Each structure stands twice: as C-alpha cells, then as structure tokens.
Homo-oligomer: A and B are copies of this chain.
Amino acid sequence: MSAETFDVRYPTGAHGHGSDAMNKDPDYSAAYLVLTTDNPELAGHSLVFTIGRGNDLQCASVEALAQMVIGETVEGLVDRLGDIGRNLVRDSQIRWLGPEKGIPHMAAGCIINALWDIVCKVEGKPLWQVLSGLSPEQLVDLIDFRHISDALSPEEALALFQKAQPLRQEREAQLLSDGLPAYTTTPGWLGYNDETMVRLAREAVADGFRFIKLKVGGSLENDRHRIKLMRETVGPDITLAVDANQVWDVPEAIAWIKGLEDDLIHWVEEPTSPDDIVGHKAIQDAIAPIRVATGEHVHNRIMVKQFLQLGAISFLQIDATRVAGVNENIAMIAMAAKFGVPVCPHAGGVGLCEMVQHLAMFDAVAVTGHHSSRVVEFVDHLHEHFVHPTVVDKGRYRAPLSAGAGAEMKPQSIKDYSYPSGKAWK
C-alpha cells in the first residue's frame, strides 16, 4: 500500500455556518487520506475532520503514521484490523505525544478507517453491513481493552454481541425499511438571525424532522429569546435540544441552564470542558430533568468509560474521526450498551454524517437494536462533495447500500479545495 494525504479546506467561516459559542469562524476541513493498493481500482479513503488551522499538521501526522501499514495486504485484512489498530496507538515514541489523544490519535483513526474502507470495497458492502456481518468473536477482537477492562471485559463484550446475534436479520430488515431518525442542527447556528432561524426551522419540520438542536451560550437573554421563538415556530411536538460547545464553567452551566426556564429541553450538549467528567456529573445532577450529552470532543475510550462509570451523561455522542477509528468507536458503543446509555452520534462538519451513520446502523443491527432514544445528528452542508452523500429523507437517515466506509470525496472537490493551492483559496 502507499499513503497520500490532502489538506482539504472549505471556506465556511465567512458565512456563519457552523458558528457557535466556542467556534466563531470554522473552516470545515479534512485531513484526507488515500491508501492505494496494488489494485488500481481499489483504494481506501478516509479523513480527519478539523476546522481549519492545524489541518496541515493533522495531514503530516496521518502521513507519518501511515508508514506503519504500507506493508499490509488486502487478503485477510479484516481479521488483522484489531491488531493493526492496537499497534497504531502503541508506538512507544509517538504515544508520548498523547497518550491516545489529539493529533496522532486521530491520525491512527484515519488510517484504521481507510483500511475499513478497503475491506468494505473488497466485500462490496457498506461499512454498517460489514460490521453487522462479523461474528461476536471478530467484534471482540477489534476492541482494545487496555485501560477499560474494569468497565467492560472481553467476556462481557462477547456476551453482549452474542445476545444481539439472533436479532440481526430482523433489525437489518427494519433498518433497510425505515432508516434511523435524524435530528438537525441546520436552523440552530448562533450566527443566524431570527429570520433565518425561523425559516430554516419551518423548512426542517416540513422536511420531516422531529428534533432540532440550537446552539446556546452567547447570552442568556438571547438564548431564552431564541428557544422561545423556536418553540413557537415548531410547536410542542418537536423535540428541542441545546448545545453550549463547552463555554461554561460548572457553576455557570448550572445557573445558565436553570435560567433558560424550560424543562422540556431534551438535552444540554457540551455544557463544559469535554475533559471534565466530574463536572458533567455535577451538572447532570443539578439540572434534572434536563439531561446531559457529550462526546464529540471526548478523546478516547478511557474517558468515555469514566463518563459512564460516574453516570455523568445520559447520551453518548460518538464522533467518527475524534478517536482511533471504527475500532475504538465499537469499544465505546459496547460500553454504552453495557451501561444503558444511548449512543446519539455527533455529525455535521465535512463527511461526519457520511461516516458516523454506519456506526449508528451497526449499533442498531448488531448491538442495542432499534429504540426510541437514538437520534443521529444531521447538518445539511457540504454533502455534495462526497461520492456517496448521506441520504436523509423525511427526517431519517436511509441506510447506504454503496460499498465503503463513507468518507470518499469527489476528486474534483479535493482538487478545488486543497489548501492553499485549490481554486477555492485563490
């Protein structure tokens, strides 16, 4: 195999898309990897999502770490992916830079995900279906149990997957028929004025969405106003959640959320630092019946373990590119299943919907099944750049049927948005 990376950046910052209380002007970006094989028709595509500056460093880290897998072959690859994943995060010198967090950890995830893309293309199936076709033993082998065995042992994970195995066929049929419920953040960005928010919210409901998320944390008064206006716009039957993108300290979070004076809010997302497990627990206890969600910035399975052990969150929002790839997300899905916390994936950005939908669908088929607590984020940006864009219809993700793990971008998009040479940046 050989590895090539591309620094792809979309100039989204100028338009207020994706703006929130923490991230003022994100340029949605991808540290994009292509792993080529001896077969010119077969390549693994993957990406790490970033929001602009530093995307070059992320590319450099992916490219350096990818040297560890260029000796890999396609034959029997699926059964080596557990070991490859463990090796990628255990290089003893690279590990010092984390351990298991940040740039090199996301790089490991990018490489693992590109290898999964190859496996899927060889099998001619979408990732969710490949994963849902693995034996419980194969799934267990994908998990790195280091530092999580006190919360989930290999035996427990095996039992969990075995229990779901007889139900897979029925669940897959339901998935193919009904898809999975999506929620939309499209109307809720902090940079939008009232008129834009109301228009987009009406469109979202007309499109079939039953769940809308608003960004909050700029000013309490403005948040109250926007939530009230949103509620008036969409009516009582639409679920509303809010997202503070980490801007509050713990006492401030508690006071602010209570100050919103709306106990119908379904969840508060990222009320404080994603590192603050103890703080999330304090917030969750104080703001009941409103519940707490986090995950998109939670950097590995060891952090997720603790959020679950302390009962600090009610919804786990896994992200396709924050952690060490599909493998570590399977570990998280399995832990969440054991602790009874629903996985409601984070998406948006660029390519995150295309990628993370597979993990939600794997969960629905081969782990926790279909249930009313799962909802998958959807943001209607930048899908046109993907070879197989996400299909959301009547507020539901449709199960993709094309082969792959979802991240493959159109060659023209890679070219046009390459930074700083692409024509979008001239």
Contacts and interface: CB of A to CB of B under 8 A. Distances in A.
A79 interface: no
A75 to B, nearest CB: 29
A207 interface: no
B249 A146 contact: yes
A211 B95 CA distance: 29
A357 interface: no
A277 B306 contact: yes
A94 B279 CA distance: 24
Interface in A259-292: 272-279, 282
Contacts of A53: 64, 91, 93-94
Find the residue from A98, A252, A309, A310 having the highest chain B CB count within 10 A: A98
Given A23-B92, A92-B26, A309-B278, A246 B149 contact: no
Contacts of A145: 249
Contacts of A24: 92
Contacts of A306: 275-279
Interface string A70-96: 000000000000000000000111111
Contacts of A389: none
Interface stretch (A54-62, A186-194, A228-236): A54-62
Contact of A249 (B94, B149, B252): B149
Interface stretch (A34-42, A295-303, A336-344): A295-303
A310 B278 CA distance: 8
Contacts of A276: 147, 302, 305-306
Interface residues of A, number: 62
Nearest to A23: B92
A25 interface: yes
B272 A147 contact: yes
A104 interface: yes
Nearest to A272: B147
Given A92-B24, A103-B102, A249 B150 contact: yes
Interface in A285-341: 297, 299-300, 302-303, 305-306, 309-310
A99 interface: yes
7 tightest A-B contacts by CB? A102-B102, A52-B93, A150-B250, A53-B93, A147-B273, A275-B302, A278-B306
Given A60-B60, A103-B104, 8 more contacts: A24-B92, A26-B92, A52-B93, A101-B101, A103-B103, A145-B249, A149-B251, A276-B306
Interface of A: 22-27, 50-54, 56-58, 60-61, 64, 91-106, 145-150, 246, 249-252, 272-279, 282, 297, 299-300, 302-303, 305-306, 309-310
